[in-house]
Amino acid sequence: MSSLPTIAVLISGSGSNLQALIDATQTGKLRAKIIVVCSNRKAAYGLERAAKAGIPTRTFSLKQFKDQGKTRVDFDVYMAKTIQEEYNPDLIVLAGFMHIVSPEFLSFFPRQNIINLHPALPGQFDGAHAIERAYEAYKQGKIQHTGVMVHKVIADVDRGQVILERPIPIEDKDTLEDLENRIHSIEHEIIVEGAQKFLDEL
C-alpha cells in the first residue's frame, strides 16, 4: 500500500476545524496523515487537540520576531522555510489561521499546495468578519444567503482558485449566533471534502 499524503495544518484558535480534519483522518474519510500542526498563538487550544491525537506541534511567534527588530516578512520566511524543509507536506491547510501569509511565504510553495477555509462565497466577503458582514447584508435585504468555500491561497486575500463552495441559507428568525453555528457545522464538512478533493487531484 502506498504511503498516505501528508498535511500540515495552520491554526490560531480553538481548532474545531482541525478537529474535523483529525477525526476524518482517523475514520478514513480523509485519506491523509497530519504530520504537524502549527500555530502563531501558543495558547491556541488547537495545539492541545493535536497533542491528544499524537500529532507534533510547532508555535511561531510574530511578537518574538518584532521584539528582535525583525519584520513580518522575516517571520513569514522563517515559518515557511521551517514547514517546507522540516516537513515538506503535500498539502498545507489554513484552518482558522489568523495571519495573512505574504507572497514571500507563498514563494516557498511553488506547487500552490496551500488551501484556506473561508466563511463566505467567492468574491462576496473577503477578509475578516465575513459572517458578521453577511448577516448585516441580509438584514439590509442585499443577499438571501451566504456560504463557505475552500480555495487555494494566493497573494490576493480569499481570491485563489475555488476548490469547493457551498451556499448556506440565512433565515428571518436567525440570530447572528444561529448563522455562525450553521456556518461552522458546514465548515467542518467542507474543510475535509476540500482537502480530499485537492489531494485526489495531485
Q: Model confidence over 144-168: pLDDT tens digits?
A: 999 999 999 998 888 999 999 999 9
Pairing of strands 114-118, 145-152: antiparallel
Q: SS3 for 46?
A: helix
Q: What per-residue confidence (pLDDT) applies to 157?
A: 86
Which of the residues are catalytic? 118
Q: How far apart (Å, rounded) are the C-alpha atoms in residues 96 and 198?
A: 18
Cell readout for 77 is 520566511
| Per-residue pLDDT tens digits for 84-100 | 999 999 999 999 999 99
Q: For residue 1, what pLDDT band results from cuts at 50, 70 and 90?
A: very low
Domains of the chain: 6-200 (3.40.50.170)
pLDDT at 2 over 70: no
Q: SS3 for 185?
A: helix
Residue range 127-141: mean pLDDT, rounded: 96
Residues 6+ away with beta carbon under 8 Å from 100: 157
Torsion 160-157-40-50 (CA) sign: negative
| Per-residue pLDDT tens digits for 164-181 | 999 999 999 999 999 999
Residues 6+ away with beta carbon under 8 Å from 21: 7, 9, 30, 34, 93, 95, 191, 192, 195
pLDDT at 72 over 70: yes
What mean pLDDT value characterizes the chain?
95
| Per-residue pLDDT tens digits for 34-69 | 999 999 999 999 999 999 999 999 999 999 999 999
- pTM as predicted: 0.95
What are residue 38's DSSP bridge partners? Answer: 10, 58
Cell readout for 92 is 498545507
